[in-house]
Amino acid sequence: MTPTAEEIRTWIVARVSHLTNIPTDEVDAGAPLTRHGLDSVALIALAADLEKWLGYRFRANPLVAHPTIDSLARYLAEEVARQKKP
């Protein structure tokens, strides 16, 4: 089953909350991830965790082109769905 953008968004919010100790209801999915205090090391860890969870290998770090949770979740939902099509 391919996760939806909303499922990916929820997962990312939970992971950002875990990495930053910010309550999930305070993680702004429309703000750049760096605004939540994630440094480059944390962003790389987040990307690696996403690859593992989604079972999808990124060609390049998508956090550069999609710096917010919302845009990243939409992009990943489309990419994973496209890759899993026969």
Distance in angstroms (rounded) separating the CA atoms of residues 48 and 26: 23
Contact 3, 78 (CB under 8 A): no
Q: What is the pLDDT of residue 83?
A: 82
- On whether the pTM is more than 0.75, the answer is yes
**If the chain, 86 residues long, is cut into consecutive pieces of 10 residues, what is the mean pLDDT of each piece?**
94 96 97 92 92 88 90 94 78
Q: 15 by DSSP, 3-state: which?
A: helix
Q: What is the pLDDT of residue 28?
A: 97
Please determine, looking at this structure, whether the domain spanning 5-84 carries the CATH number 1.20.58.100.
Answer: no
Q: What is the pLDDT of residue 58?
A: 85
Contact 47, 62 (CB under 8 A): yes
Q: What is the pLDDT of residue 57?
A: 87
Distance in angstroms (rounded) separating the CA atoms of residues 43 and 35: 12
Q: How far is CA 72 from CA 31, 43, 55, in A?
A: 11, 12, 16
Q: What is the pLDDT of residue 61?
A: 82
